[in-house]
Chain A
Amino acid sequence: MENDRQGAAPSADVQRRLYELMVLMKAADDRLSKGIASGELQCVYWPPRGQEAIAAAVGVCLRTDDQLVTTYRGLHDLIGKGVPLVEIYGEMLGRQVGASRGKGGTMHIARPESGVAMSTGIVGAGPPVAVGLAMAAQRKGIDRVTVVSFGDGATNTGSFHEAANMAALWDLPVVLLCQNNLYGEMTPVEHTMKVETIAERAQAYGMPGVRVDGNDPLAMVAALEEAVDRARSGGGPTLLDCVTFRFRGHYFGDPMAYIPAEQMAAAQLADPVPSFRAALASTGICSEHELEELDQAAVAAVEEALATVLAAEPASADELSRDVYADPTNCPV
């Protein structure tokens, strides 16, 4: 099933908001990357640069109480779902102000107030948990939707297939959101699956599977709205195969020798952030002046958050004695 952006385009406000989120995600990535590269910042990082359109669409299509389960490559998803930058950077850089007070680290950020249920470091670990969150909502009779984000590579795990089957079987309010960036670590997607699209895997479970241009925020909004509506109204899960690219490789510092130069060049031409910026200018939804303001506001917000984090206390040693169990006296040693 191909999504061809049926229905009315989102309002000018929504489009502006999409760009605002995308440019913030990009600025957050750029600043972190610059800091790690220069040695100013020390942390592990799996950059989502290039995948902003998907996360921005999630941001505008979900309610705050809708749940998101994401992965280690989650900077953009977390921003889209409304996690304050200070909590994200703070967690990555091991500060008290981090979402988990420095105990979780880059891969394990959660923020219930924003509807971020968890981030997973184990590939494929998210979909089964999303099934559970959706079961909980169904049982409680609340119209909450759970979106679980994962990569193309994750669709080769048993967990993905087990969860997809259950989600379809029980008509659960889930959206299986595959951010298909064409690689799992250093391995191209076509080396690890016989099917041509991830979308077609949905058929095996009896749910709709839709391939979407993951670099086009408007196509993403259209596809997500449909999937979220279906889930919210009891119609069950949808698998979205959002085709995109990651410009910085698997981890920050990845030499990317395995990416053919032509593929990278073509992907860069389709970079969602400048492309959408140009589209907004050409449709007249934003003036150049407005776009510049949004760009500058993003950079300023990132700088302010980083300054706050760098001035914050490092994770405190007492944290090692807290949160292992509800009652610390249950620790045997």
Chain B
Amino acid sequence: MDEQVMSQREALNLALDQALAADERVLLLGEDIADPGASGPTKGLSTRYGADRVLDTPISEAAILGAAIGMAMDGFLPVAEIMIMDFIGIAADQLINNAAKLRFMTGGRVTAPITVRTQVYGGLGTGATHSQSLEAWFMHIPGLKVIVPATPRDAKGLLTSAIFDEDPCLVLETIRLQGQRGPVPLDPSFSIPLGQGEVKRPGTDVTLVTYGRGLVESLNAAAALEAEGVSAEVLDLRTLVPLDVPLLLECVSRTRRAVVVHDAIQFAGPGAEIAAMVQEELFDVLEAPVLRVGARFVPNPGSAALEAQVYPSVDRIVSAVRRTLGKPAAEVGGDV
């Protein structure tokens, strides 16, 4: 398959572009997604496909998702954008009470296979209302699929799957990963099935279970651990619902130690569910408790220096790994 190196932003753009080209039912709606104002993954698309298929909306999040649901109920495949994940609170009712539940409540007669794209900020000094990783909220809602790509290739493959999926999908695009580059298949039919994790780095001593921006810190931590003779495997879940439980259990059965890493707040975060599942299934196999490294339990501070202390860092991940190996965390100077 032909591949090209591109940024994650370009990969998302390509997925949207190819979906619009492939299927008349696909249309985009959101705030500032049309040219000349568009700067993110939708850039250029309104010029190519017209204002009819790439709709700039008023600042009306509830109506954006509600309208997407209505169109989806009548056969369209809308891709709605909530500019920054923190704004999803305004539209959450449509997502959790309409989109997620329609199929079940109507016995399968009515469905709303919308895709909601949203960007996760954080690490940019934008403060408490523009920086949250709220995926755990939506993992808790039966009927929604929750997707968090980390690499350009996965971004294209997963977004394509989400758009054509039969269920409502929430795709989290991490702003700090948008500029990262990597090879991306150009074929419009390329997609990655939802619910398949991927081992991004092999290893034998411990599994770092992660997704989204956690992948970057986990790979960096794995490199740091290698220098001290620890072989860390990095498992990128890629989708949180559906969750690749078989692969998760297979990895941890092999390494017998796991640390879950994510940018979402650690307390009651996605890692809590993952750790609990692993411990329920693999209690006899585990050499150490499954540990979690997530954001601190605090609204994100405005000061960039303080904010840097909130997110998982290589130090914190390495310390957690050392703990699972029974080594003193202090040697590395972390604070898990």
Q: Is the interface of A mostly helix, strand, loop or mixed?
A: loop
Tell me which residues from 309 to 324 in chain A have a Cβ below 8 Å from any Cβ of chain B. 314-315, 317, 319-321, 324
Cβ-based interface call for B130 (8 A): yes
**Residues B302 and A104 in contact, CB atoms below 8 Å apart:** yes
* Nearest Cβ on chain A to B293's Cβ, whole angstroms: 12
By beta carbon, the residue of chain A nearest B268 is: A332
Cβ of B126 within 8 Å of any chain A Cβ, yes or no, is yes
Residues from 144 to 187 in A contacting B, C-beta threshold 8 Å: 153-154, 156-159, 184-187
Chain A residues with CB under 8 A of B90: 122, 124, 157-159
Interface members, chain A 275-320 (any B CB < 8 Å): 314-315, 317, 319-320
Q: Which A residues lie within 8 Å of B310 (CB)?
A: 320
**What is the CA–CA distance of A91 and B302 in the complex, to the nearest angstrom?**
8
Cβ of A123: which chain B residues have Cβ within 8 Å of it? 59, 87
Task: Determine if A44 and B36 form an interchain contact, defined as CB atoms under 8 angstroms apart.
Answer: no
- Interface pair B297/A324, CB less than 8 Å apart: yes
Chain B residues near A320 (CB, 8 Å)? 296, 298, 301, 306, 309-310
Taking CB atoms, residues of chain B closer than 8 Å to A106 are: 125, 127, 302
Contact with B along A319-333 (1 / 0, CB 8 A): 111001000000111
CB distance A108 to B128 under 8 Å? Answer: yes
Give the number of residue pairs across the A-B interface with Cβ within 8 Å.
128
Q: Is B304 an interface residue (CB 8 A)?
A: yes
Among A108-147, those with CB < 8 Å from B are: 108, 120-124
Given A44-B126, A107-B127, A317-B306, check contact A331 B58 (CB 8 Å): no
Residues of B within 8 A of A157 (CB): 59-61, 90
* Cβ-based interface call for A49 (8 A): no
Contact between B59 and A104 (Cβ–Cβ < 8 Å)?
no
Interface contact B301-A333, CB-CB below 8 Å: no
Q: Give per-residue flags for B296-331: 1 if the beta carbon is below 8 A from chain A beta carbons, else 0.
A: 111101111110011000000000000000000000
Chain B interface residues toward A at CB < 8 A: 31-32, 36-39, 56-63, 86-87, 89-90, 124-130, 266-267, 296-299, 301-306, 309-310
Beyond contacts A108-B302, A321-B298: 5 other A-B pairs, Cβ-Cβ < 8 A, are: A124-B90, A184-B59, A258-B36, A314-B305, A324-B299
